[in-house]
Amino acid sequence: MDTIEVTSAIPQSSDPVVLVIGKWDGFHKGHQQLVDKAKQLASYEERVSVLGFAGHSRPGCALSSYEDRIHAFKSAGADRYYHMNSSENQTIEEVIENSIRSLNIKRMIISEDFHWDETDMKHSEAVEEAGRKNDVPVTVLPSATIHGLTIQSSTIRTLISKGHMEAAQSMLGRPFEITGIVEKGEQLGRQLGFPTLNMGDIQDYVELRPGVYLGIVDLSDDSSYYTLVSAGYRPTVNGDSYKVEAYLLDFSGDLYGRQVTLKFFRHLRDEVNFEGLDALVEQMKMDELEARKILGITDTLEKEKSNMG
């Protein structure tokens, strides 16, 4: 998949394209449907091109990073991504007119609830109108829903900030995940018997409800480990800022500087302000037991050991 960074005008191209328009934060099930529809409607020689925009989600509120989105488009089978870097001061009509002038668009696809800005306007109608004026057919897809709720990035952000990870997962079509680089901390974790990798470079992502989570960590060498995650302010140790740290079950090794992806399955409990470190460690041991019980890891290990002899 090609990625084209657009700073002023979209570079001219005569390749016939089906253009899918959206904001794409989180690449949830509704987003996936749009790209699937484009692939279905594109003829053999038409390329599926995605149009997306920088600067539309506030820092600290995103479901996905720029790299996450590129990865999602690639996996979904898009051929090209146009990333518009300076479209904030344009109207959606201007963006579409400019795209039609620069590209050989055979069809445009957009979701019914596409919002260009914070107003309640249905901007899909503006795209339909621009299509009519320029003889480009527009397919408007109805919003995807789950349990009567429209699947949209803002709802998923709210679910995550309340710790409803299963509901968020049902809308995303996969667990919510963040990717970052392992940073050095104060080396307190290992003294407590619970070394925790500290996730760095995650400031763009939405904050989770402070608490303890069950998840999986994917390491950059393709191995994965179940993990307990603490996301929050760590009141027991007078933490002053939001941090995400993960204690990997049955892992030992050095992860500093590695890129890792953390997937969240379930919120297990809220963060507690313990009287001291002993009480915190006791609770961490119980968290680990609970995690192993949920995952069936103790059973599996016992069986493996007895099989080995």
Ligand X SMILES: Cc1cc2nc3c(=O)[nH]c(=O)nc-3n(C[C@H](O)[C@H](O)[C@H](O)COP(=O)(O)O)c2cc1C
Radius of gyration of the chain (CA): 23
x/- map, 103-142, ligand ATP, by CB under 6 A: ----------------------------------------
Considering only 96, 248, 262, 280, the residue that binds ligand ATP (CB under 6 A) is: 248
In the complex, least distance from residue 167 CB atom to ligand ATP, rounded to whole angstroms: 28
Task: Tell me which residues in 164-223 interact with ligand X (CB under 6 A).
Answer: 185-186, 188-189, 194, 196, 198, 212
Whether residue 79 contacts residue 62, with contact meaning beta carbons closer than 8 Å, is answered with no
Helix axis angle, 297-308 to 277-295, nearest 10°:
70
Q: Which does 118 bind (CB under 5 to 8 A by kind): ligand X, ligand ATP, none?
A: none
Kindly state whether residue 287 participates in binding ligand ATP, applying the rule CB under 6 A. no
Question: Binders of ligand X among 85-104, rule CB under 6 A?
Answer: none
Cα separation, 281 vs 170, whole angstroms? 33
Among 59-67, 162-170, 250-258, 266-274, which window interacts with ligand ATP (CB under 6 A)? 250-258
DSSP 186: -
Question: Half-sphere exposure of residue 113, counting CA atoms within 13 Å on the CB side?
Answer: 13
Q: How far is the CB of 248 from ligand ATP (least distance, A)?
A: 4
- DSSP H/E element including 244: strand 243-248
How far apart CA 18 and CA 2 sit, in angstroms, is 15
Match 């390329």 to its residue by tokens: 47
246: nearest Cα among 224, 216, 221, 266: 216
* Nearest distance in Å: CB 226, ligand X: 12
Torsional class of 257: left (φ above 0), alpha (ψ -120 to 50), beta (otherwise): left
User: Is 13 near ligand X (CB under 6 A)?
Assistant: no
Which one of residues 173, 185, 200, 211 is an interface residue with ligand ATP (CB under 6 A)? 185
Query: C-beta of 230: minimal distance to ligand ATP in Å?
Result: 9
Residue among 20 and 244 whose Cβ is closer to ligand ATP: 244
H runs (alpha helix) in 107-232: 123-134, 153-161, 165-172, 188-191
- CA angle centred on 44, ends 66 and 23, rounded to 5°: 25
* Contact of residue 200 among ligand ATP, ligand X, none (CB under 5-8 Å per partner type): none
Contact residues: ligand ATP, CB under 6 A: 182, 184-190, 195-198, 245, 247-248, 251-256
Q: Which residues bind ligand X (CB under 6 A)?
A: 185-186, 188-189, 194, 196, 198, 212, 228, 230, 234-237, 239, 245, 247, 271-272, 280, 284, 287
